[in-house]
Structure 1
Amino acid sequence: APSLLLSVWSAAVLPNAFYGMLQGGGSHISLSSLDVAVCDLYYYFQVINVFFCGMMGASFMQQINQAVKTTGLAGVITLIGTALPSSSNFFINYVSHRALSGMPMKLFIPHGGVRFYLVKRYLRWYKTYSEREKAYSLFRTRSPRFGVEVGNMFAVFVVASAFALVSPLVPVVGAAYMVFAYFTWKYLMLYVYVRQYETGGVWFPFLFERLLGCLGVCAAFTAAALGA
């Protein structure tokens, strides 16, 4: 249940909140910069809220006595190192749900144009709906929200890398997720979505820096686990 709720929150609530907040700010004048900004917010959300808070929350009841008595940097490192292995079951369930349920569901969810047509056709107060409007809604080009999709993949990558030595089963499940994601997105990009804009190469340095950050999280938490 927690894995399902977290996936629904990340897929249904956060995208609209992040896009609405950034568009309301008016500081991004292109779709590419908007997607990069959304992905940046997703990255910090996944690292802080999903990974760190999920790790501490999954093992909170087991570590509550130790957490109350923790003082100093050494105590915090020991607490994190102890909490990391005990929270592996939660992250195995989370990544497994994303791989076995989240990715296949993307193949069955109706195209964005179909959803847009249904909303405009049946959820508005006037009934007239011309053939031109219908064709525009059903067949207009749709681009994936790269900021959301790439940001969600960061969650799996940071979890799999952080548990690489502590719980080897987590990166195995993470690799399965990446395999499912590869074939799913290959099909979607070929037959469903249409590219609507060019980024001018801004994605590569952004993704490279964030992946290095994930590897830094991996090194830090692995050191904490081994030091505990």
Structure 2
Amino acid sequence: MAQRARALTQRHFGRTISMYAPLYLANYCTTGCAYCGFASDRVQPRRRLELPEAEEELTQLKEMGFEEVLLLTGERTSHAGFDYLLECVSLAARSFHAVGVEAFPMTTGEYALLAEAGCSGVTLYQETYDPRRYDQLHRWGPKKDYLERLAAPSRAMEAGIRTVGLGVLLGLSDPFFDALCLLRHAAHLQRNHWKSGITLSFPRLRPQSG
């Protein structure tokens, strides 16, 4: 199966590697994820990049040869909400061929505005598909709403986002269960939003500060 998958990949994409640079815009958060160093109860300095700072960082990444960038924030806050993210997407789209966002769940209308501003991809990991473990691990805040997060990738696709990234954080729950649910989620989205692409990620738990 692995050999067949490799052959299909090379047939469709050739021997290419796509590289992108992550840019953390802010580490403010309103959610209490038990596994995250950015959770709102962690004791650490908090800040966001102001637009001139973000522009400087983007310029440096461009000079390093990157053509794709991923903009990251925590959950929606007054410090780094949708309007701020939209401005940063518009800024990045002036220089980069592909601009992705890894932030908080949004409405269909908000995703449409991001797409118009030049956002080509949205990454939103469910973390775990086990509702019981999800509720235990997300102690408070907007991210505690399991179904709201689960439905967000579909809204992004409806709004015209070209690529959506799904993922689970292996180690939070039964990895086999989470992997199976991830594949079923991707298959469901592919059936209903066949014009958009889907990427899958399997990040692992790592030690975190705070």
Q: Which TM-score tier does this pair reach, normalised by the shorter chain?
A: under 0.3
Kindly indicate whether structure 1 or structure 2 has the higher relative contact order, using CA contacts under 8 Å at least 6 residues apart.
Answer: 1
The structure with the largest alpha-carbon Rg is 1
- Normalised to the residue count of structure 2, the TM-score between the two structures is 0.28
- Normalised to the residue count of structure 1, the TM-score between the two structures is 0.26
Larger helix percent: 1
Larger strand percent: 2
